Each structure stands twice: as structure tokens, then as C-alpha cells.
Amino acid sequence: MTEFSASAFTLVICAAALLSSAEGIPRPLHLRCECIKTHSEPTVPTNRILSLRVIPAGPHCKNEEIIARMKKGSMCLDPAKAWVISLKEKFNNRSVNHLKSN
């Protein structure tokens, strides 16, 4: 019985060591919408927005989500509003032009 306990203890220690390493740990999946509330009015000036993150609709959320990052935090924008659609197009054009120039 002692032999079995020592073997089991060794196996548990090896398993714990393998599981505790940072490699191979998958990034957590967000299985819900990130935007609880969206901002629709008044419009946010383009020069205040540092970046836009567009998350397409999928199994995690039925809505497309647009998150604007600014110097003082982030804000979810209403993807149905005309000014948000044009803002998204401006940022897409900036990205395409930036890629073409490099």
C-alpha cells in the first residue's frame, strides 16, 4: 500500500507541475456581449477616438459591437447609427491606407 501511495503522490506532483505552467493555457473566451449599453447621441468627435474595435456578431453575441478607445477610457457605440457607420468606414480607410503606404 505504501508503494502505491508514493507512486500516486509522485503522479499528482508531476500533474500539478505540468498544469501550473503558463504555456498551453488557452485565452478565456467571452461567451457574452461585451457592450451592455451603447452610446448613440451626441456624436463623438473623430479626433477624440484613438482606435475602434469591431466585434462581429456571432455565437457570443447576436449584435455587432463597436468599441471606441479614447484617452480617458472606452465606450461602446451604437452600430445602427449613421454617424457610427461613417466613423467605422473612416477608420477602415485609415487602416487600408496605412497598410498600402508600408
Residue 76 included in any domain? yes
- Note the pLDDT tens digit of each residue in 3-14: 557 666 666 665
- pLDDT (average), residues 26-42: 75
- Note the pLDDT tens digit of each residue in 76-91: 999 999 999 988 888 8
Domain that holds residue 41: 28-101
The count of C-alpha atoms lying within 13 angstroms of the C-alpha of 17, restricted to the half-sphere facing its C-beta, is 6
pLDDT-based confidence at residue 65 (cuts at 50, 70, 90) = very high
The span from the CA of 82 to the CA of 73, in Å, is 23
The one-character DSSP state at 22 is S
Residue 15 included in any domain? no
Q: Name residues whose C-beta falls within 8 Å of residue 19's C-beta, 6 or more positions apart in sequence.
A: none
Residue 12 included in any domain? no
Give the number of other CB atoms < 10 A from CB of residue 69: 13
What angle (nearest 5°) sits at the alpha carbon of residue 11, between those of residues 10 and 17?
A: 90
